[in-house]
Amino acid sequence: MSAAADVSGLLKMGDLAERAEVSPATVKHYLREGLLEGAPGAGEVVRTSRNMAWYPPAFVERIRLIKRLQEERFMPLRAIRELLEEQGEERARDLVDRRDAIIDQALSRTEQAAATDRADLVARTGVPEDALDKFAELRVIGDGAGGYDPDEVRIVEAFMAFRRTGFGEELGFTVYDALRYVEALEPLVREEAGTFLHRMVDRDVPPDRAVELMLGAAEPLRQLVGAVHGHVLRRELARTRRGAGGR
């Protein structure tokens, strides 16, 4: 390509990466994988020298879409390429929009629940205020500035019920033990949410129906987690006993 090639309106690699909010290395990887070809409204890449190329601005939105499919739907690049080739960018964007609609409706429904203010929570549960402060510091629950949502109230109630069984600070059990469960559950819940959204979106389940299914499953899932915990605890005690007997 000669130096006189028309590059008006095109972008250098650095500008393309900056607008798409990714690194140049990511753009180059997408190019190698053939993910940017066929982007709507995109013309050809123009090469003005061996080490200089100019890219269509339409690549910006394609790159952003690919990142969203990777990060929000956990799709590998191979699957994204197949989706774009077989169903097109419009369908890919529809999948992302459906996912967002489900999340927005779910958050809207859960945020409508009445909040409990700090004084009421302390009075109802007997939780020490310094424990609430520590819970907030560890990000187990919020700081209560706008009140505590029903799940945060359940966490505090469960913590205090646990303490009433005899597991107090004198035995070394503190709010940090609650943090252990949050850290253990976060990867599971992240995978669970991703799987749920993936299945609902791929099957074109309407957002309102998807939210009904998700909220309806919340209590059975709590029961399942509790039952699995009890089963695994007994299995771990038995394993420990066998290990101790073998020494």
Question: What are the sequence ranges of the domains in the chain?
Answer: 13-72, 115-173
Burial of 100 (0-12, 13-18, 19+ CB in 10 A): middle
User: What is the Cα–Cα distance from 106 to 215, expressed in whole angstroms?
Assistant: 8
pTM over 0.75: no
Q: Which residues pair with 55 in a beta bridge?
A: 11
Low-confidence stretches of the chain (pLDDT < 70) are: 1-4, 244-247
Q: Pinpoint the alpha helices (H) of the chain.
A: 13-20, 24-32, 59-72, 77-111, 118-125, 129-137, 150-164, 175-202, 207-216, 218-245
Question: What pLDDT does 1 receive?
Answer: 42
DSSP one-letter string for 75-90: --HHHHHHHHHHHHHH
Give how far Cα 128 sits from Cα of 47, 172, 227, Å. 67, 16, 29
CATH 1.10.3470 fits 115-173, yes or no: no
The token pair at 36 is 């940017």
In angstroms, the CA 219 to CA 13 distance is 50
**Distance in angstroms (rounded) separating the CA atoms of residues 47 and 2:** 8
The answer to whether 27 touches 63, Cβ cutoff 8 Å, is yes
**How much is the pLDDT for 61?**
92
- What pLDDT, on a 0 to 100 scale, did the predictor assign at position 2? 46
Rg (CA), the chain: 26
The reported pLDDT for the residue numbered 85 is 87
Q: If we measure between CA atoms, which residue out of 52, 55, 46, 69 comes closest to residue 18? A: 55
With H, G, I as helix, E, B as strand and everything else as coil, classify residue 53. Answer: strand
